[in-house]
Amino acid sequence: MSILNTEARPGEEAEDTAPVAVEVRGVHKWYGTHRVLDGVDLTVAPGEVTVILGPSGSGKSTLLRVINHLEQPQLGHVSLGGEPIGVRWHRGRLRELSERQILAQRSRIGFVFQNFNLFPHLTVLDNVAAAPVATGRLRKPEAQELARDLLGRVGLAEKVAAFPRQLSGGQQQRVAIARALALRPGVILFDEPTSALDPELVGEVLAVIKDLAAGGTTLLIVTHEIGFAREVADRVVFMDGGRILEQGSPAEVLDHPQHPRTREFLSKVL
């Protein structure tokens, strides 16, 4: 049985943000002389689930951070639902958006980190309710109602009053997913969401992500969980040295990798 109830209830559907496309075009990013992203092009269609694989240091986290505008590329751009991230055209020139406009764009993107990044001093309920209040989308009672609902969907209804330190890693990560959902994002980015977890807790987090995938959310997931990629990904992308070396269906990339680096990587993780 699924632990995440993604079935819309009557009257609820209109609240949900439609899944959006992500487009990454010609993105280059370097720190000093170190080139971390070296011309990345990636298109994720609305509702598509893309899994990014690649060795440590290949630029996967940096790519997610560029998409979320936590880092700015030196060249290239990212757009979300057809709208450029971080910039806009003004009198024929690209202008930086204000911090406020960037925050508004970022609120359309959910981000789930390896180390959960929950607020330790807030209850589980307030961790999930905080962002819709801070962004002015909901008043506190409404945000708390939404948070209760989302925590129920990730199987944590009985933990609303707990503090993060009282939860297992798997439960904390499910709170983090509920928190990302609270802004009703058009896309959710996951950066190795299970790699800090004890092996027996990985499954409960992957089950929640699987249900999001089945519910049609646009997902971009960095993970080393190959079995999971095979099951849920519409597309698998292999990165190395700041480039996408190969992409395709799970069957293409995982079972018939074309690039020697992909073969070498898979032989180590499978």
Residues within the interface to Mg ion (CB under 5 A): 61
31 contributes a contact to ligand ADP by CB under 6 A: yes
The position carrying tokens 């802004």 is: 183
23 versus 191: smaller Cβ distance to ligand ADP: 191
31 versus 89: smaller Cβ distance to ligand ADP: 31
> What is the smallest separation between the CB atom of 240 and ligand ADP, expressed in angstroms?
9
54 contributes a contact to ligand ADP by CB under 6 A: yes
> What is the smallest separation between the CB atom of 75 and ligand ADP, expressed in angstroms?
16
CA distance 242 to 218: 23
Q: Per-residue contact track with ligand ADP, 62 to 101, x per CB under 6 A?
A: x---------------------------------------
> What is the smallest separation between the CB atom of 237 and ligand ADP, expressed in angstroms?
12
To the nearest 5 percent, what fractions of the chain are helix, strand and coil?
40, 25, 35
DSSP 84-139: ESSEEEETTEEEEPPHHHHHHHHTTEEEE-TT----TTS-HHHHHHHHHHHTTSS-
Parallel/antiparallel/unpaired status of strands 235-240 and 49-53: parallel
- At 247 the three-state DSSP class reads strand
210 binding partner (options ligand ADP, Mg ion, none; Cβ < 5 to 8 Å by kind): none
Q: What is the dihedral of CA 260, 237, 211, 216, to 10 degrees?
A: -150
Q: Which stretch binds ligand ADP (CB under 6 A): 54-62, 119-127, 175-183, 247-255?
A: 54-62
State the DSSP code for 255.
Answer: I
121 binding partner (options Mg ion, ligand ADP, none; Cβ < 5 to 8 Å by kind): none
60 contributes a contact to ligand ADP by CB under 6 A: yes
> What is the smallest separation between the CB atom of 54 and Mg ion, expressed in angstroms?
9
56 versus 267: smaller Cβ distance to ligand ADP: 56
Query: Which residues, other chains included, contact 9 with Cβ-Cβ below 8 Å and sequence gap of 6+?
Result: none
Which residue type does 28 have?
H
Residue 36 near residue 30 (C-beta atoms within 8 A): yes
61 contributes a contact to ligand ADP by CB under 6 A: yes
Out of 20, 22, 36, 131, point to the residue binding ligand ADP (CB under 6 A).
Answer: 36
- 243, β-bridge pairs: 240
56 binding partner (options Mg ion, ligand ADP, none; Cβ < 5 to 8 Å by kind): ligand ADP
Q: How many residues bind ligand ADP (CB under 6 A)?
A: 11
